[in-house]
Amino acid sequence: MPVDSTLILPDPAAPGTTTAVTTGVTASTRAKAQRLRDLSAGPLLVLPNAWDAGSAAVVAAAGAAAIATTSGGVSWSHGLGDGQTLGRTDAVEAARRIVAAVPLPVTVDIEGGYGPDPADVAATVRAMVGAGAVGVNLEDSTAVGGPLFTPAAQAARLRAAREAAAAAGLPELLLNARTDVFLFGIGEESGRLDETLRRADAYAEAGADGIFVRGLLDLDLLTALCARSPLPVNAMAVPGGPTVPALAATGVRRISLGTALAQAAYTATRNAAAELLATGHHTTLDNALPFGDLNALFHP
């Protein structure tokens, strides 16, 4: 049976002293958090992103070592578009169901933290820890297309996330800082690498464990970034882009797929439905996973 953990934390009421705090974080959750940290310290962690409990179970059955979510896929599963349209309550409940569906560490894409202020980010992190998540991605864009939070403002938000995780009983939470400098083409092209490095320095100082640079697929620039970044670099593999081995050769330590698996699943659904409705045939379904195999992934 899961048991509460006891942490020894600094006592804010009495500087220089500590106090024992009993938290609702289970020993199992803390073990998963350490497992995610161990995986992240290895040469390469590949994360095919899930968007609901069912897709998480399928990704786990395929051999994934950990589960990462995609905010776009989670939003679509709620009938919403991507781009910080999902609210904190729905995001936390989706994370809770995913955590319950798999025995693996789960790291959650919390978009912009479901609010602009450090207090908003802290509330989201506390709720995600309560749902069983052991890692989060926090992006530095204020909205789709930008602008971005200043490095100092985003550092304050990351610091709030780190402090909230510790206060919630999970100081081991893996905090991945996403920057959208390249994704949204912020500033002059010639200065984007230096701007990303400036943000990496600030985010590392604030307690981030990694930096995720969406939109950067130029292998030479990735190599330069990995060589100079104070944080392990994460990249996204995309259809038609560099392969996992090519990305890994730059020094990237974590690779994810974003919404790609969700897109493939929805595409397969559309194609099968279109074939059935247009021709009455269903050959598109010939290679589907058997009912029994899928059903066996879920435990009562």
Q: Is residue 233 part of a domain?
A: yes
Q: How far is CA 43 from CA 216, 217, 233, in A?
A: 20, 19, 11
Over residues 274-287, mean pLDDT: 97
pLDDT in tens, 96-133: 999 999 999 999 999 999 999 999 999 999 999 999 99
Q: Which domain holds residue 129?
A: 26-259
- Domain CATH number, residue 180: 3.20.20.60
Q: Is residue 18 part of a domain?
A: no
What is the edge-to-edge ordering of all strands in the sheet holding 233-236? 45-47, 254-256, 233-236, 210-213, 174-179, 135-139, 106-109, 67-68
Q: Is residue 99 part of a domain?
A: yes
Q: How far is CA 85 from CA 106, 112, 143, in A?
A: 22, 10, 10
pLDDT in tens, 2-27: 434 544 444 333 455 443 334 689 99
DSSP helix/strand/coil, 26: strand
The confidence score (pLDDT) of residue 300 equals: 64
User: Phi/psi at 71 (nearest 5 deg)?
Assistant: -65, -35
pLDDT in tens, 213-266: 999 999 999 999 999 999 999 999 999 999 999 999 999 999 999 999 999 999
Q: Is residue 272 part of a domain?
A: no
Q: Is residue 274 part of a domain?
A: no
pLDDT in tens, 161-209: 999 999 999 999 999 999 999 999 999 999 999 999 999 999 999 999 9
121: left (phi over 0), alpha (psi -120 to 50) or beta: alpha
- Specify the number of domains making up the chain: 1
